[in-house]
Amino acid sequence: MRLRPLAAGTAATALVLALGACGGGAGDDGAVTIKIAYQKFGNFTQADELFTEVKEEYEAAHPDVTIELVPIEASQNDYFTKLALMQRSPSTAPDLMYEDTFMIKSDVEAGYLLPLDDHLAGWEDWDQFVDAAKEAGRGDDGSTYGVPMGTDTRGLWFHKEVLVDAGLPEDWAPASWDDILEAARAIKAADPDVIPLNVYSGKPMGEASTMQGFEMLLYGTGSTLYDADQSKWIVGSPEFVESLEFLQTIYAEGLAPTPQQALDPNVANTVASEWLPEGRLGIALDGSWQAGTWLESGTKPWPEWSETLGTAPMPTQHGQAPGAVSMSGGWTMAIGAGSENPDVAFDVLTHALDQESSLDFAVSNSQIAVRSDVAEDAEYLESNPTTDFFSSLVEVTHFRPATSDYAQISNAIQVAMESVMTGQQTPEEAAAVYDDAVVDVVGADNTTAG
């Protein structure tokens, strides 16, 4: 990211002085501290890079403001747990936080987040954000609680040399799940030391297992988790069982990492930093952001990545229309409901997510832009050879159910996946346990038969 000077004497400076005069969370000398909490784990350093530079720039322009960075070094599930614990105490609650879109509604329900509508009404840049991205930051009450930072899609990355050695074409483009399984079997036959296929599964990988793994399968069957028309969760779904059967197949046949490897919380870092660059993995069902690791500015620069790796859409189960499937999510910046200086916090937020910072964030982290002025910028368009491919998947993408109980449902999915991949339960048994868990969470009246 580029450091740039900020104009001193802004409205935020006046706010700080006013807050200092009345004591609203400021020190005796009128100083204000804004605490930013975010995830920093393995190769996942995007937020750290952004907020470190925001801190330097903002403090230089606003001497009365101190930005305290609180990087949480934890895997995804543990990050959400630790962030929730922070929010329960005024002494540790952050003013600003890095908030996954799927957590917004449950965190609103818990009273952790501040509605931003009044602040956003006075921010002229808000019109630059695309409507679909704005929707991801809304609560059940229609108010906005998170400002989007970027979005993503998911597809298949593959190591061209590994596939060619297995007798597959360099421009491999599977049309069904069977095509993926056939390719994985060919890779295993050609070189038993290469992991044929990685699909995240199990509790340690948290939402990555649910979204990059299970939902990419389930939504590819034509089914879903949630019937939005009825506002009910789907249970007794044959497609749910079929998605678990795919996982059972790849683990039972040795087409995936070993369960021990797959249940390592660091496996995503291993995929990006070791297995793909070293040709130890053939195919990875993963996200658009992966290239950010291999760029010159990434945590594992790999100049040859764009020539070595190919990409393909994840096909639907049998190749049925629309032929491909993707899932999209993303992160937002949110303000804590207990912040004593929400106006200053919002001013920091607008700096972190202005056009230049958003452009840097999108380019350095291979994000799909959520601001129109970033999406049209030549630097963004030329920054990554996979940008067009992953952006094209927006046409076939899906979003997770936007409900406050989704996090608990996601956990039940991870349990089902892990029980199947480790051979503890059959897909039918794991699906039945999942169904019971859903009923326990939402009540039988809020479910419908698949």
Tens-digit pLDDT profile for residues 329-358? 889 999 999 999 999 999 999 999 999 999
Task: Give pLDDT tens digits for 402-444.
Answer: 888 998 999 999 999 999 999 999 999 999 999 999 999 999 9
Instruction: State how far the Cα of 88 lies from the Cα of 57, in Å rounded to an integer.
Output: 30
Mean pLDDT of the region 29-49? 83
Mean pLDDT of the region 220-247? 97
Task: Give pLDDT tens digits for 240-299.
Answer: 999 999 999 999 999 999 999 999 999 999 999 999 999 999 999 999 999 989 988 788
- Asked if pLDDT for residue 24 goes beyond 80, the answer is no
Distance of CA 405 to the CA centre of its chain: 18
- Asked if pLDDT for residue 164 goes beyond 80, the answer is yes
Sheet with 314-315: list strands edge to edge: 314-315, 324-328, 397-399
Domains and CATH numbers, the chain: 11-151+329-387 (3.40.190.10), 154-328+399-449 (3.40.190.10)
What is the chain's mean pLDDT, rounded? Answer: 91
Query: What's the pTM?
Result: 0.84
- Asked if pLDDT for residue 110 goes beyond 60, the answer is yes
Query: What's 274-308 look like in SS3?
Result: HHCCCCCEEEEEEEHHHHHHHCCCCCCCCCCHHHH
Q: Would you state the torsion angle of the CA atoms of residues 227, 232, 235, 237, taken in this order, to the nearest 10 degrees?
A: -10
> Pairing mode, if any, of strands 397-399 and 324-328?
parallel
Question: What's residue 16's pLDDT?
Answer: 43
| Confidence class for position 21, pLDDT limits 50, 70, 90 | very low
The count of other CB atoms within 10 Å of the CB of residue 252 is 12
Top-confidence residue, 299 or 172 = 172
Backbone angles phi, psi at 232, to 5 degrees: -135, 150
